[in-house]
Structure 1
């Protein structure tokens, strides 16, 4: 953006020249970029054409720009190591995500969350997208702000789907469509703002922890081990809500047994507290039928149920849903009365069509079958390559494992060795509130991005790379 100051003594053409020169040196104007035409820029800045022409001529003489036949002037490639280095360094500092280390891409990445391109049902999505666009109903809604809770059509389909697959009992009026777990938890933090206290699992999902911390909540921790959650001290914590992942504890992968589920529900009823149930990957259960949701056995309306399309369709869709108990609805409507849905109407309507047609259920069935094979390949290969040297937590469900090694083995060192071998596995310290409390012999590995052959080869490379360390334990 060029600014002209007619109150200073600097000639107008020189002001234009200096600002364009600075943008070229700093890299804000990349080589090949076409400058605005002389007439256009003169009109924009409110100066004479001769003024712009004189500035462009000076830039061209000095080699910053060059004329292009029929296209005006284009930025030339220049080298000014001192200046460009300064601006490049600044650019890197500004653009880098401070919360995530920039990582080199490795051939075998046991990350968690992203999926291969072929997993998205492109044909079905395209079919329903075109059907929605062709509907006369769409033209009446595409250009309007939507209900803060989301499209009614999607909420109705979700009500039926959740009852059928997770036993969730609710009305469409209780369902809120959101743009991810963080959005939903942030909304709940506003509803519970007068209390500013919450309990959650330790270890637990660090994304949820970050939302609570950002909202100034005091977090109390419920101990979680490979044997499940310990609710013995829950009453003493004095919290109005607790965040849990009962159907597949994150990261251990355990299932909360019915006795502890009832214990938790009784606590909520007695204390008039709420349970936030994050049912983040309920579609992926391989050793038994899906575990009924905690909400499905709640007789006192104390469970806030949260689910997502991120694990079944794509995390980039940014669509999840939350079921609020009836007692919380008046406060929600009062607090968010002027809000609109954060998810595009078109995306919601396509999802509603997918659910209504049965295509979504068929897609989930295919995804579950595909990832069952990957899960089994993972377990079999770990057993083949490592035998009893590794204990896998979280078998039978989900898209990740927690690896436990013998005492004395430090996962941090194994992660470094693995990276040199072209394999990425992950630390578990982010899931503990105090990193020193995290057992040093645990690491985290997901398999949502890899196929069976890649899983097997990646684990084989890990055994090869780790052999010198593990053979001494």
Structure 2
């Protein structure tokens, strides 16, 4: 039975979501159980249909329920394990730059991923906080000293609170390391795990992370990833002490790792005494439901290394990211990096801390998410209008990019060249596969972080013009 209260501050949809989620985790709702229809439950509880629909959507995105054609939603199977009771229920920085390895001529319509329009930088607010920091009385004393290797304490304290509120991350400020980008953080981890030199990665996966591991002499084993999710069945056979994953928005397919597989992954790490590197890039940008709580938030065994970034929410050249180390790795970290200093300037960290503390950062992220939701919706609507059943779009509902899939007989390489000649740049996906011959030839990559709605519309219109003969579109 679901009980809701209109007298408390918790949104009605969240009350519904949490109660159903709790019943699924506890086993009160068994796998296959059909949930009441949206209209029926809304009438029973005396709430709007949109309220129930939002709760169901969030449960579906996180993998607790699945749609059944003509029957509404059914409870998904969640692994029954002796460790399930130890795993807490969910609470409510990758830079791909595909094709940017070499200098390229500028085209009118570039569906790249990673850069942002200049006007999106919160210049006024950033300047205000910088001036406030520069006026601090203790400025000179702190700027003339070497910084703590983990970063400014003020920023780490603000991050601790922010990550708990938005991603469910539970940590102390002593576990947070401020870095100058994902590559820096992964390089730090490679040194911590230098005695093992084996790691598992998603296949396909982020090529920037793969390059760091290769440069540090690691042997990389692969976990198959498909448009339908990560296949963890092979993980136990790989004999690796670390796995790198993007569970909240798999790169590049854009899928969400369901709760059952999150538990499976955590249980593997606990049983094998292994660690999970959770790259939570693009976590701010979810348009069809609330942001997915982090894997770290349900880790009951101190096995998750959480990494996030400000590159997608503020600007890439800021060069600030963060990593939350499990407490079990802190002694080794302090011993190995005892003489290091933070790679990010004191002033930048203090300005960012002030930005977070004031609430300006949260408001900025909210504006960015609203703006990119419009671009996302225009992209989906226009692509469907122009190409209809000739394409399948992977990665809808979140992030800043899509994978576009054509019929099996279509070669994306030719389409990319045709688009280039028409002034539109889209990208190959081969860099995300360890072997190019394993990459499906009918996929291409398109981002929308740099283009406005009008540019997206015009770019996709041009693509239809040049691709129509190949795709047999009238």
What is the TM-score with the length of structure 2 in the denominator?
Answer: 0.79
Question: What is the rounded CA distance, in whole Å, between the counterparts of 1:402 and 1:143 in structure 2?
Answer: 48
Question: Is 2:180–2:343's contact at 8 Å kept on the other side of the alignment?
Answer: yes
Question: In structure 1, what is the equivalent of residue 245 of structure 2?
Answer: 244
Question: In structure 1, what is the equivalent of residue 25 of structure 2?
Answer: none
Question: What is the rounded CA distance, in whole Å, between the counterparts of 2:105 and 2:473 in structure 1?
Answer: 30
Classify the secondary structure of the residue corresponding to 1:367: helix
Question: What is the rounded CA distance, in whole Å, between the counterparts of 1:250 and 1:227 in structure 2?
Answer: 13
Q: Detail structure 1 runs of 4+ shifted over 4 Å in the superposition.
A: none
Q: Quote how far apart the aligned CAs of 1:300 are.
A: 0.3
Per-residue CA deviation, residues 375-427 of structure 1 (Å, 9 max, x unaligned), is: 00000000111111110000000000000000110010000000000000000
Q: Quote how far apart the aligned CAs of 1:137 are.
A: 2.1
Question: What is the rounded CA distance, in whole Å, between the counterparts of 1:189 and 1:463 in structure 2?
Answer: 45
Q: Quote how far apart the aligned CAs of 1:460 are.
A: 0.5
Per-residue CA deviation, residues 195-240 of structure 1 (Å, 9 max, x unaligned), is: 0000000000000000000000000000000010011010110000
Question: In structure 1, what is the equivalent of residue 219 of structure 2?
Answer: 218
Question: Is 2:387–2:473's contact at 8 Å kept on the other side of the alignment?
Answer: no
Classify the secondary structure of the residue corresponding to 2:323: strand
Q: Quote how far apart the aligned CAs of 1:145 are.
A: 1.0
Question: What is the rounded CA distance, in whole Å, between the counterparts of 1:137 and 1:467 in structure 2?
Answer: 64
* 1:415 equivalent in alignment to 2:416: yes
Question: What is the rounded CA distance, in whole Å, between the counterparts of 1:219 and 1:427 in structure 2?
Answer: 22
Question: In structure 1, what is the equivalent of residue 294 of structure 2?
Answer: 293
Q: Quote how far apart the aligned CAs of 1:99 are.
A: 8.1
Per-residue CA deviation, residues 159-185 of structure 1 (Å, 9 max, x unaligned), is: 000000000000000000000000000
Question: What is the rounded CA distance, in whole Å, between the counterparts of 2:101 and 2:373 in structure 1?
Answer: 30
Question: In structure 2, what is the equivalent of residue 183 of structure 1?
Answer: 184
Classify the secondary structure of the residue corresponding to 1:136: coil
Alignment map for 1:16-27 (pairs within 5 Å) = none
Question: What is the rounded CA distance, in whole Å, between the counterparts of 1:446 and 1:138 in structure 2?
Answer: 41
Classify the secondary structure of the residue corresponding to 1:397: coil
Classify the secondary structure of the residue corresponding to 1:444: strand
- Structure with the bigger RCO (C-alpha within 8 Å, sep 6+) is 2
Q: Quote how far apart the aligned CAs of 1:140 are.
A: 1.4
Classify the secondary structure of the residue corresponding to 2:142: coil
Classify the secondary structure of the residue corresponding to 2:374: helix
Question: In structure 2, what is the equivalent of residue 149 of structure 1?
Answer: 150
Which of the pair has more CA radius of gyration? 1
Question: In structure 2, what is the equivalent of residue 379 of structure 1?
Answer: 380
What is the TM-score with the length of structure 1 in the denominator?
Answer: 0.79
Which ranges in structure 1 are unaligned for 5 or more consecutive residues? 1-97
Question: In structure 1, what is the equivalent of residue 235 of structure 2?
Answer: 234
Question: In structure 2, what is the equivalent of residue 458 of structure 1?
Answer: 459
Classify the secondary structure of the residue corresponding to 2:154: helix
Question: What is the rounded CA distance, in whole Å, between the counterparts of 1:99 and 1:420 in structure 2?
Answer: 18
Supply the RMSD in Å over aligned alpha carbons: 1.1
Question: What is the rounded CA distance, in whole Å, between the counterparts of 2:171 and 2:413 in structure 1?
Answer: 45
Per-residue CA deviation, residues 103-144 of structure 1 (Å, 9 max, x unaligned), is: 110000000000000010000000000000011122211122
